[in-house]
Structure 1
Protein backbone atom coordinates (compact mmCIF):
# COMPACT_ATOMS: atom_id res chain seq x y z
CA UNK A 1 0.00 0.00 0.00
CA UNK A 2 2.99 2.32 0.54
CA UNK A 3 3.44 5.35 2.74
CA UNK A 4 0.48 7.63 3.24
CA UNK A 5 -2.33 8.54 5.55
CA UNK A 6 -5.94 9.57 5.69
CA UNK A 7 -6.32 13.33 5.99
CA UNK A 8 -9.53 15.09 6.94
CA UNK A 9 -10.48 17.73 4.42
CA UNK A 10 -13.16 20.33 4.68
CA UNK A 11 -16.45 19.19 6.14
CA UNK A 12 -14.78 16.17 7.71
CA UNK A 13 -14.36 14.23 4.47
CA UNK A 14 -11.44 11.83 4.44
CA UNK A 15 -9.07 11.63 1.55
CA UNK A 16 -6.07 9.36 1.14
CA UNK A 17 -2.76 11.05 0.41
CA UNK A 18 0.66 9.59 -0.28
CA UNK A 19 3.99 10.69 1.18
CA UNK A 20 4.18 13.72 -1.14
CA UNK A 21 0.65 14.67 -0.06
CA UNK A 22 1.62 14.41 3.61
CA UNK A 23 4.54 16.75 3.00
CA UNK A 24 2.20 19.15 1.18
CA UNK A 25 -0.26 19.02 4.07
CA UNK A 26 2.54 19.65 6.58
CA UNK A 27 3.69 22.65 4.56
CA UNK A 28 0.13 23.86 4.06
CA UNK A 29 0.32 23.80 0.27
CA UNK A 30 -2.24 21.10 -0.54
CA UNK A 31 -5.18 22.70 -2.34
CA UNK A 32 -8.37 22.49 -0.29
CA UNK A 33 -11.47 20.88 -1.72
CA UNK A 34 -14.09 23.37 -2.88
CA UNK A 35 -16.08 24.26 0.19
CA UNK A 36 -18.31 26.99 1.45
CA UNK A 37 -16.96 26.60 5.00
CA UNK A 38 -13.79 24.53 5.32
CA UNK A 39 -12.91 22.84 8.59
CA UNK A 40 -9.67 23.54 10.44
CA UNK A 41 -7.72 21.63 13.06
CA UNK A 42 -9.56 18.34 12.51
CA UNK A 43 -7.91 14.93 12.14
CA UNK A 44 -9.34 11.42 12.20
CA UNK A 45 -8.32 7.80 12.29
CA UNK A 46 -10.54 5.00 11.00
CA UNK A 47 -10.77 2.35 13.74
CA UNK A 48 -13.06 -0.06 11.87
CA UNK A 49 -15.30 -0.22 8.81
CA UNK A 50 -17.60 -2.66 7.12
CA UNK A 51 -20.73 -2.94 5.01
CA UNK A 52 -23.90 -4.51 6.32
CA UNK A 53 -25.74 -7.18 4.38
CA UNK A 54 -28.97 -5.23 4.82
CA UNK A 55 -29.56 -6.09 8.48
CA UNK A 56 -28.49 -2.56 9.40
CA UNK A 57 -30.20 -0.23 6.98
CA UNK A 58 -30.33 3.50 6.42
CA UNK A 59 -33.92 4.41 5.64
CA UNK A 60 -34.59 4.00 1.93
CA UNK A 61 -31.33 2.16 1.23
CA UNK A 62 -30.40 -1.52 1.25
CA UNK A 63 -26.76 -1.88 2.25
CA UNK A 64 -25.13 0.39 4.81
CA UNK A 65 -21.50 1.34 5.32
CA UNK A 66 -20.61 1.36 9.02
CA UNK A 67 -17.48 3.33 9.87
CA UNK A 68 -16.02 3.96 13.33
CA UNK A 69 -13.51 6.81 13.60
CA UNK A 70 -11.66 8.63 16.32
CA UNK A 71 -11.98 12.32 15.45
CA UNK A 72 -9.84 14.99 17.11
CA UNK A 73 -10.58 18.71 16.96
CA UNK A 74 -7.71 20.92 18.12
CA UNK A 75 -8.39 23.92 20.38
CA UNK A 76 -9.85 26.65 18.16
CA UNK A 77 -10.64 24.06 15.46
CA UNK A 78 -13.89 23.55 13.60
CA UNK A 79 -15.50 20.95 11.35
CA UNK A 80 -16.90 23.55 8.97
CA UNK A 81 -20.62 23.54 8.12
CA UNK A 82 -21.73 20.13 6.84
CA UNK A 83 -24.37 17.41 7.00
CA UNK A 84 -24.29 13.63 6.88
CA UNK A 85 -26.05 11.31 4.40
CA UNK A 86 -26.64 8.86 7.27
CA UNK A 87 -27.04 8.91 11.04
CA UNK A 88 -24.09 9.30 13.43
CA UNK A 89 -23.67 8.15 17.01
CA UNK A 90 -21.02 10.17 18.85
CA UNK A 91 -19.31 9.64 22.22
CA UNK A 92 -17.13 12.45 23.58
CA UNK A 93 -13.93 10.93 24.98
CA UNK A 94 -12.35 14.22 26.08
CA UNK A 95 -12.91 17.97 25.89
CA UNK A 96 -16.15 19.77 25.12
CA UNK A 97 -17.65 20.06 21.64
CA UNK A 98 -19.91 22.99 20.82
CA UNK A 99 -22.29 22.34 17.93
CA UNK A 100 -24.34 25.01 16.17
CA UNK A 101 -27.33 23.72 14.25
CA UNK A 102 -28.94 25.14 11.09
CA UNK A 103 -31.58 26.93 13.20
CA UNK A 104 -28.69 28.60 15.11
CA UNK A 105 -29.34 26.72 18.34
CA UNK A 106 -26.19 25.72 20.20
CA UNK A 107 -25.54 22.42 21.98
CA UNK A 108 -22.49 21.50 24.05
CA UNK A 109 -21.41 18.01 25.03
CA UNK A 110 -18.48 17.27 27.35
CA UNK A 111 -16.36 14.20 28.05
CA UNK A 112 -18.50 11.19 28.94
CA UNK A 113 -21.50 12.55 27.04
CA UNK A 114 -22.96 11.27 23.79
CA UNK A 115 -25.31 12.48 21.08
CA UNK A 116 -26.90 11.41 17.81
CA UNK A 117 -26.66 13.43 14.62
CA UNK A 118 -29.57 12.81 12.25
CA UNK A 119 -29.10 12.38 8.52
CA UNK A 120 -29.97 14.80 5.77
CA UNK A 121 -29.46 18.23 4.21
CA UNK A 122 -31.97 19.69 6.67
CA UNK A 123 -29.55 18.87 9.52
CA UNK A 124 -26.64 21.16 8.64
CA UNK A 125 -24.35 21.88 11.58
CA UNK A 126 -20.83 22.83 12.63
CA UNK A 127 -18.74 21.45 15.49
CA UNK A 128 -16.25 23.68 17.28
CA UNK A 129 -13.66 23.26 19.99
CA UNK A 130 -13.89 26.45 22.03
CA UNK A 131 -11.79 24.98 24.85
CA UNK A 132 -8.09 24.71 25.57
CA UNK A 133 -7.71 20.93 25.25
CA UNK A 134 -8.32 18.75 22.19
CA UNK A 135 -11.82 17.37 21.70
CA UNK A 136 -11.65 13.63 21.02
CA UNK A 137 -14.76 11.90 19.66
CA UNK A 138 -15.60 8.30 18.88
CA UNK A 139 -17.96 8.52 15.91
CA UNK A 140 -19.96 5.67 14.37
CA UNK A 141 -21.30 6.54 10.92
CA UNK A 142 -24.24 4.64 9.38
CA UNK A 143 -24.37 5.84 5.77
CA UNK A 144 -25.81 4.42 2.54
CA UNK A 145 -23.25 2.18 0.85
CA UNK A 146 -20.73 4.23 -1.12
CA UNK A 147 -21.82 7.58 0.34
CA UNK A 148 -19.38 10.12 1.75
CA UNK A 149 -19.28 10.41 5.54
CA UNK A 150 -20.15 14.11 5.33
CA UNK A 151 -21.04 16.75 2.77
CA UNK A 152 -19.88 20.39 2.91
CA UNK A 153 -22.61 23.00 3.24
CA UNK A 154 -22.77 26.79 3.31
CA UNK A 155 -23.17 28.66 6.58
CA UNK A 156 -26.93 29.12 7.09
CA UNK A 157 -26.31 32.60 8.51
CA UNK A 158 -25.75 31.85 12.18
CA UNK A 159 -23.71 34.40 14.17
Structure 2
Protein backbone atom coordinates (compact mmCIF):
# COMPACT_ATOMS: atom_id res chain seq x y z
CA UNK A 1 0.00 0.00 0.00
CA UNK A 2 2.81 2.41 0.91
CA UNK A 3 4.51 1.84 -2.45
CA UNK A 4 1.27 2.51 -4.29
CA UNK A 5 0.76 5.76 -2.36
CA UNK A 6 4.34 6.84 -3.15
CA UNK A 7 3.82 6.10 -6.85
CA UNK A 8 0.52 7.99 -6.99
CA UNK A 9 1.98 10.97 -5.11
CA UNK A 10 4.96 11.07 -7.47
CA UNK A 11 2.72 10.88 -10.52
CA UNK A 12 0.35 13.57 -9.23
CA UNK A 13 3.23 15.92 -8.46
CA UNK A 14 4.83 15.25 -11.84
CA UNK A 15 1.67 16.37 -13.60
CA UNK A 16 1.82 19.74 -11.84
CA UNK A 17 5.48 20.53 -12.41
CA UNK A 18 6.83 22.68 -15.22
CA UNK A 19 9.73 21.57 -17.42
CA UNK A 20 13.25 22.63 -16.45
CA UNK A 21 16.92 21.74 -16.60
CA UNK A 22 19.57 20.70 -14.11
CA UNK A 23 23.03 19.19 -14.13
CA UNK A 24 23.93 15.72 -12.94
CA UNK A 25 27.10 13.87 -11.99
CA UNK A 26 26.63 10.36 -13.39
CA UNK A 27 28.68 7.34 -12.44
CA UNK A 28 29.55 4.70 -15.03
CA UNK A 29 26.86 3.89 -17.59
CA UNK A 30 24.33 6.33 -16.13
CA UNK A 31 22.24 8.89 -18.01
CA UNK A 32 19.58 11.16 -16.57
CA UNK A 33 16.91 13.38 -18.08
CA UNK A 34 15.01 16.06 -16.19
CA UNK A 35 11.31 15.61 -16.90
CA UNK A 36 10.01 18.44 -14.71
CA UNK A 37 11.28 20.89 -12.11
CA UNK A 38 9.61 23.45 -9.84
CA UNK A 39 10.46 25.41 -6.71
CA UNK A 40 7.71 25.96 -4.17
CA UNK A 41 8.70 28.05 -1.17
CA UNK A 42 12.07 26.78 0.05
CA UNK A 43 11.81 23.38 -1.66
CA UNK A 44 12.91 22.21 -5.12
CA UNK A 45 10.91 19.38 -6.73
CA UNK A 46 12.63 17.65 -9.62
CA UNK A 47 11.30 14.66 -11.54
CA UNK A 48 14.05 12.81 -13.38
CA UNK A 49 14.30 9.62 -15.40
CA UNK A 50 17.57 7.78 -14.82
CA UNK A 51 18.85 4.91 -16.97
CA UNK A 52 21.70 2.70 -15.73
CA UNK A 53 23.18 0.31 -18.29
CA UNK A 54 24.03 -3.29 -17.31
CA UNK A 55 27.13 -3.19 -15.09
CA UNK A 56 26.64 0.55 -14.50
CA UNK A 57 26.51 2.37 -11.18
CA UNK A 58 25.70 5.82 -9.81
CA UNK A 59 28.90 6.32 -7.83
CA UNK A 60 28.89 6.96 -4.07
CA UNK A 61 26.77 9.98 -3.24
CA UNK A 62 24.10 11.45 -0.99
CA UNK A 63 21.22 13.90 -1.27
CA UNK A 64 20.33 16.93 0.85
CA UNK A 65 16.64 15.91 0.88
CA UNK A 66 14.37 12.92 0.39
CA UNK A 67 14.06 11.00 -2.89
CA UNK A 68 11.06 8.97 -3.97
CA UNK A 69 11.84 6.44 -6.69
CA UNK A 70 9.97 3.97 -8.86
CA UNK A 71 11.69 1.18 -10.80
CA UNK A 72 10.22 1.33 -14.29
CA UNK A 73 12.44 -1.43 -15.76
CA UNK A 74 15.30 -3.68 -14.63
CA UNK A 75 16.55 -4.23 -11.09
CA UNK A 76 18.41 -1.85 -8.77
CA UNK A 77 20.87 -3.07 -6.14
CA UNK A 78 21.14 -0.33 -3.49
CA UNK A 79 24.11 -0.33 -1.07
CA UNK A 80 24.85 1.86 1.95
CA UNK A 81 28.27 3.17 2.98
CA UNK A 82 28.72 0.26 5.43
CA UNK A 83 28.66 -1.94 2.26
CA UNK A 84 25.37 -3.58 3.21
CA UNK A 85 22.63 -4.08 0.63
CA UNK A 86 19.61 -2.19 1.93
CA UNK A 87 17.43 -3.14 -1.02
CA UNK A 88 17.12 -5.00 -4.29
CA UNK A 89 14.29 -3.34 -6.18
CA UNK A 90 12.79 -4.94 -9.31
CA UNK A 91 10.48 -3.34 -11.88
CA UNK A 92 7.24 -2.15 -10.31
CA UNK A 93 8.79 -1.44 -6.90
CA UNK A 94 9.02 1.96 -5.22
CA UNK A 95 11.44 3.08 -2.50
CA UNK A 96 12.74 6.20 -0.75
CA UNK A 97 16.20 7.51 0.02
CA UNK A 98 16.77 9.47 3.22
CA UNK A 99 18.63 12.80 3.35
CA UNK A 100 22.41 12.66 3.89
CA UNK A 101 22.54 8.85 3.59
CA UNK A 102 25.62 7.85 1.57
CA UNK A 103 24.79 5.12 -0.95
CA UNK A 104 25.40 3.71 -4.42
CA UNK A 105 22.94 2.31 -6.94
CA UNK A 106 24.11 -0.52 -9.19
CA UNK A 107 22.66 -2.43 -12.12
CA UNK A 108 23.93 -5.99 -11.74
CA UNK A 109 21.44 -7.27 -14.33
CA UNK A 110 21.67 -7.83 -18.07
CA UNK A 111 19.05 -5.23 -19.12
CA UNK A 112 18.94 -1.46 -18.63
CA UNK A 113 17.62 -0.20 -15.29
CA UNK A 114 15.17 2.70 -15.63
CA UNK A 115 14.14 4.75 -12.59
CA UNK A 116 11.63 7.56 -12.21
CA UNK A 117 12.89 9.69 -9.33
CA UNK A 118 11.29 12.62 -7.52
CA UNK A 119 13.90 14.73 -5.69
CA UNK A 120 12.51 16.83 -2.83
CA UNK A 121 15.42 19.06 -1.85
CA UNK A 122 16.10 22.36 -0.12
CA UNK A 123 15.95 25.14 -2.72
CA UNK A 124 19.24 25.53 -4.58
CA UNK A 125 20.65 22.15 -3.55
CA UNK A 126 22.38 19.97 -6.15
CA UNK A 127 20.56 16.78 -7.16
CA UNK A 128 23.34 14.78 -5.51
CA UNK A 129 26.66 15.30 -3.79
CA UNK A 130 29.70 13.09 -4.27
CA UNK A 131 30.89 10.99 -1.35
CA UNK A 132 34.18 9.12 -0.94
CA UNK A 133 34.30 5.42 -1.78
CA UNK A 134 34.00 3.60 1.58
CA UNK A 135 36.10 0.71 0.23
CA UNK A 136 33.41 -1.88 -0.41
CA UNK A 137 35.29 -3.30 -3.40
CA UNK A 138 32.65 -2.87 -6.07
What range describes the TM-score normalised by the shorter chain of this pair? 0.7 to 0.9
TM-score normalised by the chain length of structure 1: 0.69
- Conservation of the 8 A alpha-carbon contact between 1:40 and 1:78: yes
Aligned residues: CA RMSD? 1.5
Q: In the comparison of the two structures, how many residue pairs are matched?
A: 116
1:70 to 46, 49, 60: 49
Q: Report the TM-score when normalising by structure 2.
A: 0.79
C-alpha distance after superposition, 1:108-159 (max 9, x if no partner): 1000001100001xx1000000101000000000011001010000112224
Q: How does 1:65-104 map to 2 (within 5 A)?
A: 65-104=44-83
User: How many angstroms apart in 1 are the aligned matches of 2:52 and 2:136?
Assistant: 21
Q: Which residue among 9, 19, 31 is the counterpart of 1:43? A: 31
1:155 maps to 133
Aligned twin of 1:139: 117
Q: In the alignment, which residue of structure 2 is the partner of 1:105? A: 84
5+ unaligned residues in a row in structure 2: which ranges? 1-20
Larger Rg: 1
> Is there any run of 5+ residues in structure 1 with no aligned partner, and where?
13-38, 54-62
Counterpart position of 1:119: 99
Q: Does 1:52 align with 2:30?
A: no
